Amino acid sequence: MNVIETRELGKSYGKTWALRDCTLAVPEGRLAALVGPNGAGKSTLMNLAVGLAVPTTGTVTLLGGISATSPAVLHDIAFMAQDAPVYRNLSVADMLHLTKNLNWKFDYAQAKARLADLGIPLKKKTGKLSGGQQAQVALTLALARRPRLLVLDEPLAALDPLARQDFMATVMTAMADDGVSVLLSSHALADLERVADFVVVLGNGELRIAGDTDELLAEHLLLTGPAADADRMAGLLEPVQVKRAEAQAHLLVRTGGVAGEKPVPPGWEAHPVGLEELVLAYLRPTNIKSSAAGSRTELTDVNR
Residues 163 and 257 in one domain: no
Nearest to 46 by CA among 9, 15, 17, 75: 9
Integer Cα distance of 180 and 220 in angstroms? 29
pLDDT block averages, 10 residues each, the chain of length 304:
96 94 96 93 94 94 91 89 81 94 90 92 92 90 94 86 88 92 90 90 94 93 89 82 87 70 77 91 61 31 33
Q: Residue 99 is part of a domain; what is its CATH number? A: 3.40.50.300
Domain stop point among 187, 215, 243: 215
Give the model's pLDDT for residue 299: 33
Predicted local confidence at residue 141, as pLDDT: 94
The structure's pTM equals 0.85
116 with 198, same domain? yes
**Residue 286 confidence (pLDDT):** 53
187 & 287 share domain: no
> What domain range includes position 265?
219-301
Q: Cα separation of 167 and 48, whole Å?
A: 25
In total, the chain counts a number of residues equal to: 304
Q: In what order do the strands lie in the sheet with 181-185?
A: 77-80, 149-153, 181-185, 31-35, 198-203, 206-212
- 173, 188, 215 — which closes off a domain? 215
**Domain boundary, last residue among 215, 249, 274:** 215
- pLDDT, residue 262, reads 59
**Number of domain units in the chain:** 2
Is 141 found in the same domain as 110? yes
